[in-house]
Chains A and B, each alone.
Chain A
Amino acid sequence: MPAIEIRKISKKFKVYGNEFYALKDVSIDIKEGEIFSLIGPNGSGKTTLINIILGLLIPDTGYVKILGKRVEDESSLEKMNFVSPEERFHWVLSANDTLNIMGKIYGLDRATRKKRITGLVELFGLGNVLNRRFDGLSTGEKMRLALAKALLNEPQILLLDEPTLGLDPDISIKIREEIKRINKSYGTTILLTSHYMKEVEQLADRVAFIKNGKIVQVGKTNMIRKKGQSLEEYFVEKVEEG
C-alpha cells in the first residue's frame, strides 16, 4: 500500500469567468519510507496538489488516500504533518505556547509533551526564543518552530513545502540533515517541494516534474535526467519544452 495514493486528480478553477485546469488527471503513488519531491515552475499546480492532499481542497475528480484512508476522512490527517514557509501561528503566542497547544491537539499527555518539546527545542536551537512571541521571531526561527511543530506528533508522513526558503545556509544544511535523519531513523515518508534543485538532488529518492497541472515525468532522481546533467539543468530544459 502506498503511503500517499493520488489517483486521477483533476481540479478546475474559474478566474474572471474563464475556467482553467490547475491539475489534470494527476496520478502518483508515494511509497512508504521514501523522500519524494514534486518540482515544477510557479503556478504549475504543486500547491493545489498539496492542498488536496491536506484535505483543504476537494478535487473535481479522482481521490487521495493517506495510508489507505481517503482524505475526506478527517482522521487521515492524524498521521501526517505539514511545514510551509507561509506557516503562521497566533502573533501573541510564544514558541513554547504554540508547541504546547499543538501537543495538546495531537493528544500527547503532559509527560510525553514535555519530553518531545524539550528534545525538539534542543534539536532546532529554539531554547533562546522559547518564550518570545511569534511576531518577535525571525524568518529562520519561525521556520524552525514550524519544523519542531511538525515532528511533535511523530508523523508517518511529512509534507515539506519549501522547508529551507529564506533560511541562512548553516540552518538550511542542518535542516536538510535533519530531514534525512528523520526519514532514515523513523521511516517517515516525506513529500518535498523545493525550488532549490541542489536540495532535491541531495534529499529525494524520486522526483515528479509537474507543469501546467500535468505530471510530465516521474522517476528516480538520478535516472530522470540525462547523463552529466544537473537537476537544475533538467528543470530549465523541462520548463522551456513546448
Chain B
Amino acid sequence: MKLNRILALMYMDFLIFFRVKWKLAEIFFFPIITVLIWGLFSVFMQRFAVEAGLIVVIMNLFWSFAHVSQTSTNIAMLEDVWSGSFKQLFVSGITKSEYIIARLIFSSFVAILILSIISIMAYYIFNITLLAENFFTFLELISITLIASMALSVIIASLIISWGKEYGFLAWTILQIFILLSAPFYTVDVLPQTIQYISYVMPYTNVFETTRNLITTGFVDSTVILKGFIIAVLYLFLSFPLYNFAFNRARKNGVLVRLN
C-alpha cells in the first residue's frame, strides 16, 4: 500500500467535492435542513414532552452523520463508474485496498465537518446542550457510528462490484434499512420478535439505545457502548474480506470491466 496513491485519490476527491454542485447540496443542504426542521419540531414538542423532541433531533444528527459518511464513499466510487475513470484508476497501479481506503478517509473528514456544523447549529439555535454536557459519551457514539458507516460503505461497494453498476442505487437505500432496523425513535422491543434478533446485531442499535437512555434517564450504560463498538468493529473486519472476494470475483466474471 502506497501513501502517495491514497493522498492522490483524496486530492482528486477534494477537487471534485468543490466542483460538483449537487454534491455540495447533498452533503451540506440536507443535513442542515434536517436539523432545522427537527429542531423546530423539538421547540414545538417542548410544550408536550421535552425528551421526544430531543430524541428526534439527536437521532437525526447521527443519521445525517452516518448518511454522509457512507454515501460519500459509495458515490465517489459511482462517479468513477459514471465518468468512465474507474478503469483508468485501476490500470494506473492503484490497488483495490488503496482505492477504498482513500475514499473512506476523505468521506470521514467530510462527515466530521458536517457533524461539527450541525452540532453547533443544534447547540446555538435550539439550545441542545446535551451533547456538549456529555462530550466524551458523544465522542464514543460518533466513533461507533463512523466505524459502522465505513463498514457499510465497504459492504455496499462490494455489492456494486459484484452485481454491476445497475445496483448503484444501493448507495442511497441500504442505510435506510439499517437505520430502520436499528430502532432510532423507538425501543427494540416494539419490533416483531424475529426482527428484534436482527436489530440486536445492527451496528447502530446500541448507539441509538444509549442516546435514548441518556435523554430520558440521564444514565449511560457502558456495556451497551462496548457492545456497539464490538459489533461495529466486527462489521468492519468482515467487510474487507467481502470486498476482496467481490473484487476478485468481478475480475473473473468480467463485471469489473463492464463497470466502466
Residues in A lying within 8 Å of B, measured CB to CB: 13, 51, 54-58, 74-75, 77-78, 80-82, 86-93, 97, 101-102, 104-107
Q: In the bound complex, do residue A105 and residue B92 qualify as a contact, i.e. CB atoms below 8 Å apart?
A: yes
Q: How far is the CA of A105 from the CA of B94 in the complex (A)?
A: 8
What's the least CB distance linking A153 to chain B, in Å?
8
What's the least CB distance linking B250 to chain A, in Å?
9
Could you mark each residue 235-260 of chain B with 1 if its beta carbon is under 8 Å from any beta carbon of chain A, else 0? Answer: 00000000000001001101011001
Interface presence of B85 (CB below 8 A): yes
Given contacts A87-B87, A101-B15, 14 further A-B contacts (CB under 8 A): A54-B91, A56-B251, A57-B256, A82-B91, A90-B79, A90-B83, A92-B16, A92-B19, A92-B20, A101-B8, A101-B12, A102-B8, A105-B89, A105-B94
Among the listed A54, A80, A88, A107, which residue makes an inter-chain contact with B85, where contact means beta carbons less than 8 Å apart?
A88
Q: Given A78-B93, A89-B85, A106-B92, is A57 in contact with B257 using a C-beta cutoff of 8 Å?
A: yes
Q: How far is the CA of A58 from the CA of B249 in the complex (A)?
A: 9
What's the least CB distance linking B88 to chain A, in Å?
6
Interface presence of B218 (CB below 8 A): no
Q: How far is the CA of A97 from the CA of B2 in the complex (A)?
A: 20
What's the least CB distance linking B123 to chain A, in Å?
34
In the complex, residue of chain A having the shortest beta-carbon distance to the beta carbon of B87: A56
Interface presence of B11 (CB below 8 A): yes
Write out the residue numbers on chain B whose beta carbons fall within 8 Å of the beta carbon of A102. 8, 92
Q: How far is the CA of A51 from the CA of B251 in the complex (A)?
A: 10
Q: In the bound complex, do residue B4 and residue A107 qualify as a contact, i.e. CB atoms below 8 Å apart?
A: yes
Give the number of residues in B that approach A within 8 Å (Cβ atoms). 33
Q: How far is the CA of A38 from the CA of B163 in the complex (A)?
A: 31
Residues in B lying within 8 Å of A, measured CB to CB: 2, 4-5, 7-9, 11-12, 15-16, 19-20, 79-80, 83-85, 87-95, 248, 251-252, 254, 256-257, 260
Q: In the bound complex, do residue B95 and residue A97 qualify as a contact, i.e. CB atoms below 8 Å apart?
A: no
Q: In the bound complex, do residue B254 and residue A86 qualify as a contact, i.e. CB atoms below 8 Å apart?
A: no
Q: In the bound complex, do residue B2 and residue A88 qualify as a contact, i.e. CB atoms below 8 Å apart?
A: no
Write out the residue numbers on chain A whose beta carbons fall within 8 Å of the beta carbon of B15. 92-93, 97, 101
Write out the residue numbers on chain A whose beta carbons fall within 8 Å of the beta carbon of B7. 104
Q: In the bound complex, do residue B4 and residue A89 qualify as a contact, i.e. CB atoms below 8 Å apart?
A: no
Q: How far is the CA of A104 from the CA of B9 in the complex (A)?
A: 9
Write out the residue numbers on chain A whose beta carbons fall within 8 Å of the beta carbon of B80. 90
Q: In the bound complex, do residue B88 and residue A77 qualify as a contact, i.e. CB atoms below 8 Å apart?
A: no
Q: In the bound complex, do residue A87 and residue B92 qualify as a contact, i.e. CB atoms below 8 Å apart?
A: no
Q: In the bound complex, do residue B257 and residue A77 qualify as a contact, i.e. CB atoms below 8 Å apart?
A: no
Write out the residue numbers on chain B whose beta carbons fall within 8 Å of the beta carbon of A78. 93
Q: In the bound complex, do residue B11 and residue A104 qualify as a contact, i.e. CB atoms below 8 Å apart?
A: yes
What's the least CB distance linking B78 to chain A, in Å?
12
In the complex, residue of chain B having the shortest beta-carbon distance to the beta carbon of A135: B83
Q: How far is the CA of A187 from the CA of B230 in the complex (A)?
A: 55
Write out the residue numbers on chain B whose beta carbons fall within 8 Å of the beta carbon of A58. 248, 251-252
Among the listed B5, B79, B248, which residue makes an inter-chain contact with A105, where contact means beta carbons less than 8 Å apart?
B5
Q: How far is the CA of A92 from the CA of B16 in the complex (A)?
A: 7
Q: List 27 A-B contacts (CB under 8 A).
A: A13-B254, A54-B91, A56-B251, A57-B256, A57-B257, A77-B92, A80-B91, A81-B91, A81-B92, A82-B91, A86-B87, A86-B260, A87-B87, A87-B88, A88-B85, A89-B84, A91-B83, A92-B15, A92-B16, A92-B20, A93-B16, A101-B11, A104-B7, A104-B8, A105-B9, A105-B89, A106-B93
